[in-house]
Amino acid sequence: MTEMVFGTVPVRAGEPVLPKWWRTLDKLALSSILMLFGIGLLLGLAASVPLAEKNGLEPFYYVKRQAFFGVVALLTMLGISMLPPLQVRRLGVIGFAFSFVAILLLPVFGTDFGKGAVRWFSLGFASVQPSEFLKPGFVIIAAWFMAAAHEVAGPPGRFYSFILACIIVVALALQPDFGQASLVLFSWGVMYFVAGAPFFILTAIGGLTVAGGVFAYNASEHFARRINGFLSPEIDPRTQIGYATNAIQEGGFFGVGVGEGTVKWSLPDAHTDFIIAVAAEEYGLILVLAIIALYATVVISSLLRLMRERDPFARLAGTGLACAFGVQAFINMGVAVRLLPAKGMTLPFVSYGGSSVIASGIALGMLLALTRTRPQGQIADILTRRGN
């Protein structure tokens, strides 16, 4: 539907698949992703040992699992990054269909693991959070709809994507999972803006979002409790936010030293949602800034490549994936320093969690595939040709 061809640029005839993939890949983004995974393992060595001891497991049980999930995620990412946009779109649509059905089945077969929100399927040896896999699939299918609207006599794809986004947001809010719901809505809004949405419509959608937040505050005790805790001028030192805030302050610029941190013994989610607090306490502001720089590198490098992309589907889908990746990292770190209300969201490719790491690998594989340079040409080629 969106594979439009306006000419070609020179192609190396008979070039093998792997050299061609490497030549066209965003190596800067790939290097940053690999470094984030390495940092995640490093922090896992510090943060997950207390939890393993508490659960009567070997000290590095969670680190080994994280390494296994990470290898699976990296191999998946590299495999997907070799796909052309058409295959990425097909994979995204299929993944979205399975994930959406899984979301609908959560009230019947899901579990909350005592956290008050039914978000997981328990498999005994592991758990699966379908909302993590839903996000990249939604971005792909929403971008497909929006790109179709650019075609002659195309369907009202923007409207279809909006209806789909509303359905997903409602399904996630019922779990309740307002963090993932807000991320889905943000991804859609970014793509809608890039697709040329009128400012009035964006303003109206923003107003509806605020109204939805007010409704959720009044209707959900879980949501209201987190907002009230965020707005409270006092921080209870016995809460997760209290422990995380104190750890970040104690870390200072250089940290208290490798293995010398104490927050990992107090925070039950130190290896997942609050992994950045462990990084700040033991390694200081230096490592935190390095992590932020790596996330920014992935996002900015991808967006710069997408600015030259002429395929509307690749441009929209890549923008949605890149921004969702960056904003999820921003939300996780923002919660830890109390810039945002607690949302229970992992730090992509750094936090422990099989669903999170593998889903991030899928999303980043799609992003790397869509930002590869391809022989169809770029927007600049078309404008130059039309000018002549």
Token pair of 293 as six digits: 């720089």
- Please name which of 358, 383, 374 lies closest in space to residue 99, comparing C-alpha atoms: 358
| Helix, strand, coil in percent for the chain, rounding step 5 | 70, 0, 30
Give the pLDDT score at 6: 39
Angstrom distances, CA of residue 285 to CA of 280, 281, 292: 6, 8, 10
Give the pLDDT score at 211: 79
Q: In whole angstroms, what separates CA 17 from the centre of its chain?
A: 28
d(CA 263, CA 254): 16
Give the pLDDT score at 382: 46
Q: How does DSSP assign 202-254, residue by residue?
A: HHHHHHHHHHHHHHHHHH-HHHHHHHHHHH-SS--TTSHHHHHHHHHHHHTTT
Q: Tens of pLDDT along the chain (388 residues)?
A: 444 443 344 445 567 778 888 899 999 999 999 999 999 988 888 777 777 888 788 888 888 888 999 999 999 999 999 999 999 999 999 999 999 999 999 888 888 776 667 788 888 777 888 989 999 999 999 999 999 988 877 788 888 999 999 999 988 888 878 888 889 999 999 999 888 877 777 787 778 777 777 777 777 776 777 777 666 666 655 677 777 888 888 888 888 887 777 777 777 767 778 888 888 888 989 999 999 999 999 999 999 999 988 899 999 999 999 999 999 999 989 888 888 877 778 899 888 888 889 999 999 999 999 999 876 544 455 445 444 5
Token pair of 321 as six digits: 């994936």
Q: What are phi and psi of 46, to 5 degrees?
A: -90, -40
- Please name which of 111, 119, 218, 224 lies closest in space to residue 172, comparing C-alpha atoms: 119
Task: Give the number of other Cβ atoms within 10 Å of residue 108's Cβ.
Answer: 7
Give residues with Cβ within 8 angstroms of 178, minimum separation 6. 172, 216, 220, 223, 343
Token pair of 89 as six digits: 């779109």
Token pair of 53 as six digits: 């001891």
Q: What are phi and psi of 122, to 5 degrees?
A: -90, 125
Token pair of 289 as six digits: 């800034």
How wide is the angle at C-alpha 26 spanned by C-alphas 21 and 31, nearest 5°?
Answer: 105
Give the pLDDT score at 238: 64
Cβ(148)–Cβ(103) under 8 Å?
A: no
Count of positions (residues) in the chain: 388
What residue type is 75 in one-letter code?
L
Give the pLDDT score at 366: 97
Give the pLDDT score at 59: 83
Give the pLDDT score at 116: 67
Cβ(351)–Cβ(271) under 8 Å?
A: yes
Give the pLDDT score at 236: 59
Angstrom distances, CA of residue 128 to CA of 69, 170, 178, 353, 358: 12, 20, 18, 9, 10
Give the pLDDT score at 221: 72
Give the pLDDT score at 85: 93
